[in-house]
Amino acid sequence: MKGLGNIEVLILVQLGVEVILILFVVFLLFRFKRSGHLNGLNKGIESAAGLISETDKICKTLSANLKEKKALADKLLSDLDRRIKELQRLTNSPAPSAGREAPVLPGRADGPYTNVVELSRYGLSVDEIAERLSMTSGEVELVLGLAREKREANNSR
Length of the chain: 157
Residue 32 has pLDDT above 80, yes or no: no
d(CA 59, CA 79): 30
Q: Which position has the higher pLDDT, 22 or 43?
A: 22
Digit-coded pLDDT (tens) for 42-95: 777 788 888 888 888 998 888 888 889 888 888 888 888 888 887 777 667 555
- Contact in structure between 140 and 154 (CB atoms under 8 Å): no
**What's the confidence (pLDDT) of residue 77?**
87
Q: Which residues contact 135 (CB under 8 A, 6 or more apart)?
A: 116, 129
Inform me whether the pLDDT recorded for 33 exceeds 90: no
Which pLDDT score, from 0 to 100, does residue 100 have?
Answer: 52
Local structure of 70: helix, strand or coil: helix
78 phi, psi to nearest 5 deg:
-65, -35
Evaluate if pTM is beyond 0.75: no
- Percentage of residues in the chain having pLDDT higher than 70: 78
- Cα separations in angstroms, 64 against 57, 58, 60, 67: 11, 10, 6, 5
If you average pLDDT over residues 108-131, what whole number do you get? Answer: 79
- DSSP secondary structure code for residue 93 in this structure: S
**pLDDT tens-digit readout, 148-157:** 888 888 887 7
Residue 122 confidence class, pLDDT cut points 50, 70, 90: confident
Q: Tell me the one-letter amino acid at 75.
A: K
CA atoms of 84 and 93, how far apart (whole Å): 14
Position 109 confidence tier, pLDDT thresholds 50, 70, 90? very low
Span 123-140, mean pLDDT?
88
Average pLDDT over residues 116-129: 88
Q: What count of other Cβ atoms lies within 10 Å of the Cβ of residue 143?
A: 22
In whole angstroms, what is the distance from residue 122 CA to residue 97 CA? 8
Q: What is the pLDDT of residue 49?
A: 86
Higher pLDDT, 97 or 55: 55
